[in-house]
Amino acid sequence: MTETRDPILSVRNLTLDIPVGGGTLHAVRGIDFDLARGETLCIVGESGSGKSLTSLAIMGLLAPRIERRADRLEFDGVDLLKAGPRKMRSLRGNRMSMIFQEPMTSLNPAYTIGDQLTEALLLHRNVGKKAARDRAVELLEKVGITAAASRLGQFPHQLSGGLRQRVMIAMALMCEPELIIADEPTTALDVTIQAQILRLLVDLQREMNVAMILITHDLGVVARVADKVAVMYAGELVETGPAGAVFGQPTHPYTRGLLRCIPVPGKTERGAELGTIPGIVPSLVGDVSGCPFRTRCEEAVAACRGAIPLRHRSDDAHAFRCVHETGMATAEVSA
Amino acid sequence: MATTTDPLLEEIQGPTPGQLLRRRVFGHHGLMIGGGLVALLVVVAILAPVLAPHDPYAQSLLERLQPPVFLGGSWEHPLGTDHLGRDYLSRLIYGARVSLMIGVIAALISGLIGTAMGVAAGYFGGRVDMVVTFLINVRLAMPVVLVALAVVAIFGGSLQVVIIVLGLLLWDRFAVVMRASTLQVRGREYVAAARAIGCSTPRIVLTEIMPNIVNNLIVVVTLEMAHAILLEAALSFLGLGVQPPTPSWGLMVSEGKQMMLFEPWLVMIPGIVLFLLVLAINLMGDGLRDVTAPENRS
Amino acid sequence: MSDATTPVLELRNVSKVYTIRQGLFAERKSLRAIDDVSLKVERGGVLGLVGESGCGKSTLAKILLGLETPTTGEVLIDGEPVGAQDRRKLARRIQPIFQDPYSSLNPRKSIADIISLPLRVHGIGDAASQDKAVREILDIVGLPARVMNSYPSQMSGGQRQRVAIARALIMKPEIVICDEPTSALDVSVQSQILNLLGELRREFGLTYLFISHNLAVVEHLATRVAVMYLGRIVEEASVAGLFDHARHPYSQALLESVLTPDPALGVPDTQLGAAYPNPIAPPSGCHFHPRCPKALPQCSSVAPRPLTTADGRIECHLFDEEKAEPATA
């Protein structure tokens, strides 16, 4: 992947190993990406692809037994690989914040909305309680919550799922972070609410010029929200690039396969057979070499067991990992 | 119309639940140690007539209060003799029968009562649940030892009375745990599927619910066994449990207490065995919970 | 008494009211989970049922499966009222496929036990013929016969959902209630299951009630669609009618919310201001009026009548003026 000018987050060769009974689970293997201010990167993948672990690795929230290695893991000039627990605490909730999937479980039921909103601000900034509450009301209004001042005294269970997710977003924005990581922020919500929340996230992110990583399995969400897309499969980024390029010219067999799997209103013929990706995600325990997708790939050849080159489409920012020059075996033969 | 026949689709991953359980059981040290000790004691109790060197009731006033071998006694009585000259090792071995019998039968009776109540409350909910919850609260408000004391005082102490009293008193934890587990399993979609198939209620409870909560049941059984064994010892110590001359560990502690200052081993030996049995049962219970807990099941 | 024109499944004015009491001394409140729902499903058709969580979709499925009884109204199968049949008889004609294949299979039973349970409960055939039936159905849903001795924990989500489908189909029911059958599955597995459901319908002439919040999937599989809001069917139409010309403002909002993978389009603005209302205290008049971008003055006071359209039915004041006949259902 090409260098982004003045990235706020820069990741090179990030590798996550989890010791399990009978070997090591190579959950994430050598992923690279850069993210600039005001940019949205969507990491898309199926369950077990390692996308959530990647976000936790950046936030320094991995379980202690998971081994994190990288050539570079830099956030606005701070080397996160060398940052100790205290340094990480001063960053989290302050300069980088996270929004989780389940607003029900990520808000503490024992505290009021106001307490939880102001907590990070009081912890990281030298502000008084009054100022913190004013800021909380301002942000609740910004995320579209009516009667914001009266909400501060309410408890999470008194709010609907959509409102709770808005509170989570307000909470993530309290300290004006420079990086937001949203892990499946709308998966637990209804479609109508999903659209509202995504719109809110995108508007706020543009307005405040924040860098955002959005993790999802929903290709529709990715297409509508992302500036840059990273398709993750079995711990590797198999295709990365600007959203227009990845969806306009999907190149890696996995990306193409995924896009064939979903019915697209107006494009897929109603009732027609959908594309499928047969087989299952391979085990990542033990020796993992070659292309992880080869067991399910229709373009697979013997070379897929070896080293897989990183290739670029005509647009330099659009990259993919495949033995085939165009992601297709057939095109090569005819060429 | 066989659909896709892809080799990877046909791949069945991993071991069966049975194999997985076996693997975990043998990898769990606490469970192996606890289970091993309990098994050893069960064998000893069953083979008591063969293993015991002497008749546990045979008195010999000439050989009173002989010390165990490690305190300078003879191999004739490896753990010495009590104040009536009875062989201490033989009484200890026969005492294991009493303790284990009380533990097993009391846990069985209370397990039956508590499980029936808990599962009914969890499955049917509504009024049934209200009644059962009320009964549990009533039971929890009664102090076990005091009630047992009162009953034994009225009906007289004997092995049978102790077993029945404990069996009728210790069902509360079974009811609470089984009710909670049933509530949890009842909401699973396979129960709804079984109902949609047309399964009868008894069939659903026995084949869909019970197999999925039996692991919790086993854990409570071990806890309550240990509980019952300790209560029997306490009641016997107070003279309201098993009556002399039946050998019971609680009774042995009680009988030894007059001479505790001069012959402390009289109290310590049954005390240590009792401690070991309860520890072993608890280790086994903890281990069983670990190996069957859903969070361990991937 | 059934002929070609009798709908295989029909709901006539079905309502389900729950009485709930929050706390011991709190006042009893009634919750109308299903409010006067009338629906017909043609044999071999797929009725897609869409709506937000809490709209009553799942309660409707439970009523059809005989897991709940309607407070008022009746359910007819092949023109026969279901009340007259007992649950076991109903079970042979309607079977469910649930959302979560990790919860819908008993983890303590082998696959063969799970699939053959309906046959054993209903005493269909002997052990040998049941075994044969299980092998046949496994082949039909695309699983090899050797999974028979496996357990659910050894299978992937997609394989489990195939087992659930096999269990639903082994008694050859006429109607299958699919309650979010693919929403717990990964995208690549979802398409396999959708294809399988489509094939099975064509092969065995099955009728589906397909409940989903994923409108793209409903559009793909359904022949007719019913849109539900707070227990009421607000619009019912053919797939083409609904997805190409949605009329009810709520249907339109749902369709606008669908995120197609097209990076040229941004996130849509659905203009559904307020959150989903509390079903215990539904808004007056048309339940949808607080969120409706096209609300008229009478919407907050008068509940709209069901109107028949060329293609189905709709409940909305916007269409009162049209020359639509009041529904006769």
Q: Which domain holds residue A117?
A: 96-174
Residue in chain A closest to C199 (alpha carbons) equals A273
Residue A1 DSSP class:
-
Q: In terms of domains, do A239 and A303 share one? A: yes
Inform me whether the pLDDT recorded for A335 exceeds 70: no
Rg (CA), chain C: 21
**pLDDT at site A148:** 82
Q: In terms of domains, do A306 and A210 share one? A: yes
Whether the CA torsion B220, B223, B225, B231 is positive or negative: it is negative
| pLDDT single digits (tens) C166-210 | 999 999 999 999 998 888 888 888 899 999 999 999 999 999 999
**pLDDT at site C257:** 87
For B:143-172, CB contacts with A below 8 A are none
**pLDDT at site B4:** 37
In what side-by-side order are the strands of the sheet with A236-242? A96-99, A179-183, A211-216, A40-44, A228-233, A236-242, A319-321, A310-312
**Residue closest to B6 by CA, chosen among A65, A296, A90, A138:** A296
A10 sits in which H/E element: strand A9-20
* Per-residue confidence band for B267, with pLDDT thresholds at 50, 70 and 90: confident
Q: Look-up: residue for tokens 């969580």?
A: C53
Inform me whether the pLDDT recorded for B3 exceeds 70: no
| pLDDT single digits (tens) B229-242 | 888 888 888 887 78
Q: In terms of domains, do A128 and A277 share one? A: no
Q: In terms of domains, do A229 and A299 share one? A: yes
Cα(A273)–Cα(A287) distance, integer angstroms: 36
Q: In terms of domains, do A150 and A230 share one? A: no
Cα(C141)–Cα(C159) distance, integer angstroms: 9
**3-class DSSP assignment, residue A328:** coil
**pLDDT at site A301:** 87
Domain boundary among A174, A203, A232: A174
* Per-residue confidence band for B84, with pLDDT thresholds at 50, 70 and 90: confident
C195 touches chain A (CB under 8 A): yes
Q: In terms of domains, do A197 and A287 share one? A: yes
For B:11-30, CB contacts with A below 8 A are 11, 13
| pLDDT single digits (tens) A35-71 | 999 999 999 998 888 898 999 999 988 888 899 999 9
Tokens at residue A89, please?
A: 């605490």
**3-class DSSP assignment, residue A123:** helix
With respect to residue A225, please indicate whether it lies within any of the assigned structural domains.
yes
B8 touches chain A (CB under 8 A): yes
Tell me, what amino acid is at C183? Answer: S
Interval A108-121 mean pLDDT: 86
**Residue closest to C142 by CA, chosen among C159, C155, C156, C129:** C159
Please give, one letter per residue, the 3-state secondary structure of chain C: CCCCCCCCEEEEEEEEEEEEECCCCCCEEEEEEEEEEEEEECCCCEEEEECCCCCCHHHHHHHHCCCCCCCEEEEEECCEEHHHCCHHHHHHHEEEECCCCCCCCCCCCCHHHHHHHHHHHCCCCCHHHHHHHHHHHHHHCCCCHHHHHCCHHHCCHHHHHHHHHHHHHCCCCCEEEEECCCCCCCHHHHHHHHHHHHHHHHHHCCEEEEECCCHHHHHHHCCEEEEEECCEEEEEEEHHHHHHCCCCHHHHHHHHHCCCCCCCCCCCCCCCCCCCCCCCCCCCCCCCHHHCCCCCHHHHCCCCCEEECCCCEEECHHHCCCCCCECCC
Total count of domains within chain A: 2
Q: In terms of domains, do A146 and A286 share one? A: no
Mean of pLDDT over chain A: 86
**pLDDT at site C45:** 92
Cα(A210)–Cα(A202) distance, integer angstroms: 10
With respect to residue A160, please indicate whether it lies within any of the assigned structural domains.
yes
Tokens at residue B23, please?
A: 């693997």
User: For B184, what's the count of Cα atoms within 13 Å in the CB-facing half-sphere?
Assistant: 11
Cα(B164)–Cα(B235) distance, integer angstroms: 13
Interval B81-93 mean pLDDT: 86
Q: Cβ contacts of residue C193 below 8 Å, gap of 6+?
A: C158, C161, C162, C165, C181, C182, C185
ipTM of the complex in this document: 0.84
**pLDDT at site B111:** 94
In what side-by-side order are the strands of the sheet with C72-77? C28-41, C9-21, C72-77, C80-81
* Per-residue confidence band for A3, with pLDDT thresholds at 50, 70 and 90: low
Tell me, what amino acid is at A106? Answer: S
Q: In terms of domains, do A204 and A141 share one? A: no
Tokens at residue A271, please?
A: 């009732």
Residues of B in contact with A292 (CB under 8 A): none
Among A10-19, B42-51, B73-82, B202-211, whose mean pLDDT is lowest?
B73-82
Mutation pick from B16, B184, B197, B210 vs chain C, by most beta carbons of C within 10 Å, is: B197
Among A190-194, B94-98, B168-172, C128-132, whose mean pLDDT is lowest?
A190-194
Residue A157 DSSP class:
G
Would you tell me the crossing angle of helices A253-261 and C187-204 to the nearest 10 degrees? 40
Cα(A306)–Cα(A311) distance, integer angstroms: 15
**pLDDT at site C321:** 61
Inform me whether the pLDDT recorded for A151 exceeds 50: yes
Domain boundary among A117, A143, A174: A174
Cα(B91)–Cα(A93) distance, integer angstroms: 67
Extents of the domains making up chain B: 19-296
Mean of pLDDT over chain C: 86
Q: In terms of domains, do A292 and A249 share one? A: yes
For B:171-210, CB contacts with C below 8 A are 188-190, 192-199, 203, 207-208
Tell me, what amino acid is at C26? Answer: A
Cα(B9)–Cα(C144) distance, integer angstroms: 9
Inform me whether the pLDDT recorded for C24 exceeds 70: no
**pLDDT at site C21:** 67
Q: In terms of domains, do A166 and A200 share one? A: no
For A:36-55, CB contacts with C below 8 A are 46-47
* Per-residue confidence band for B2, with pLDDT thresholds at 50, 70 and 90: very low
| pLDDT single digits (tens) B287-298 | 888 887 654 443
Contact state of B4 with A295 under an 8 Å Cβ cutoff: no
Tokens at residue C309, please?
A: 């359209």
Interval B160-187 mean pLDDT: 91
Cα distances (angstroms) measured from residue B169 to each of A319, B62, B113, B134, C111: 71, 43, 10, 15, 41
Q: Which of the two residues, A126 and C326, has the higher pLDDT score?
A: A126
Considering only CB atoms, C91 lies closest to which of B198, B208, B212, namely: B198
Tokens at residue C235, please?
A: 């619009």
**pLDDT at site A258:** 92
A280 touches chain B (CB under 8 A): yes
**pLDDT at site C3:** 56
| pLDDT single digits (tens) B179-208 | 999 999 998 889 999 988 888 899 999 999
Q: Cβ contacts of residue B145 below 8 Å, gap of 6+?
A: B231, B234, B235
Contact state of A278 with B11 under an 8 Å Cβ cutoff: no
Extents of the domains making up chain C: 251-329
**Residue closest to A180 by CA, chosen among A212, A208, A203:** A212
Cα(C292)–Cα(C305) distance, integer angstroms: 17
Mutation pick from B1, B4, B8 vs chain A, by most beta carbons of A within 10 Å, is: B8
Residue in chain B closest to C165 (alpha carbons) equals B193
Q: In terms of domains, do A152 and A278 share one? A: no
**Residue/partner pairs of B67-73 with CB below 8 Å, 24 or more apart:** B67/B263, B67/B265, B68/B265, B68/B269, B71/B265
* Per-residue confidence band for C222, with pLDDT thresholds at 50, 70 and 90: very high
Inform me whether the pLDDT recorded for A297 exceeds 80: yes
* Per-residue confidence band for A333, with pLDDT thresholds at 50, 70 and 90: very low
Tell me, what amino acid is at A104? Answer: M
**pLDDT at site B112:** 95
CATH number at residue A38: 3.40.50.300
Q: In terms of domains, do A56 and A180 share one? A: yes
Q: Look-up: residue for tokens 């745990």?
A: B177
* Per-residue confidence band for A162, with pLDDT thresholds at 50, 70 and 90: confident
What is the CATH code for B19-296?
Answer: 1.10.3720.10
